[in-house]
Structure 1
Amino acid sequence: MIEHFAFDQRLGIAIPDLTMEWDEYSAEIQQEILLTWEQTRGSIPDRIAELEEEINDKQAQLSDESDFPRSCQLNSEIADLASIINDLWLWYRANQVVSKVHL
């Protein structure tokens, strides 16, 4: 099933990378894709928890930081991590509907 997924470095998970329309895949391949996705999807909350820990660490650093440029950098890193979390939640929720419809 690896051929139907691509690892997204930013998100830290493999996401679907389908080259055809969903209905063009055989029922067997659809089931394999959905099974693989459900396994990946199940790991998303753990990935989010990891990123939240990173945010908490950076916020702790920020509270003790007196150097303005470093504070700006930390704020930017926190915003980037929050953006990744948002995108992960979108993947988690959007594909939940697809999985229920096709299972």
Structure 2
Amino acid sequence: MEHFFTYDSRLGISVPELPRSFSSYSIEQQAIILAEWENHRGAIPDRVKELEREIDQCLYKLNREEDFEASCRLNNQISEFASTINDLWIWYRTNPHITSSKNNEKALPIK
């Protein structure tokens, strides 16, 4: 059985990793890929909430931190969490049901 997804430790979810174009898969395989993607995609809002809690904790610490270098590290962590959230929302907004009018093939994001 082929694996169509790979776990991205930074994002905390599995993302599509298709070794060939989506249209080259059978209709059945396409349906399996799309169904599995919807399951992974559905976890994104919860993952974003987790990261937002991490940001809140960093902000709490940052507001009390007096050491400049420690403040810089906290700011860096906040930036990384925010970047990850941004990437997750990009994946979430990706619509796997978009069709190309040129060749009528379904598109799915490829890492």
Q: TM-score, normalised by structure 2?
A: 0.86
Aligned length: 100
Aligned to 2:22: 22
Q: Deviations over 1:49-69 (max 9, x none)?
A: 000000000000000000000
Q: Give the match's secondary structure for 2:3.
A: helix
Query: Which aligned runs of 4 or more in structure 1 are off by greater than 4 angstroms?
Result: none
The percentage of counterpart residues that share the same residue type is: 47
**C-alpha separation in 2, matches of 1:2 and 1:50:** 31
2:97 partner amino acid? S
Aligned to 2:68: 68
CA displacement at 1:99 relative to structure 2: 3.1
2:20 partner amino acid? M
Q: Give the match's secondary structure for 2:97.
A: helix
**C-alpha separation in 1, matches of 2:2 and 2:57:** 34
1:17 partner amino acid? E
Structure 1 30/91 Cα, relative in aligned 2: closer, same or farther at 3 Å? Answer: same
State how 1:35-50 maps to structure 2 within 5 Å: 35-50=35-50
For the pair 1:98 / 2:93, whether they are aligned, the reply is no
Extract unaligned runs of 5+ from structure 2.
100-105, 107-111
Aligned CA-pair RMSD: 1.4
Extract unaligned runs of 5+ from structure 1.
none
Structure 1 56/50 Cα, relative in aligned 2: closer, same or farther at 3 Å? Answer: same
CA displacement at 1:98 relative to structure 2: 1.9
Q: TM-score, normalised by structure 1?
A: 0.92
CA displacement at 1:100 relative to structure 2: 5.7
Structure 1 2/25 Cα, relative in aligned 2: closer, same or farther at 3 Å? Answer: closer
Aligned to 1:33: 33
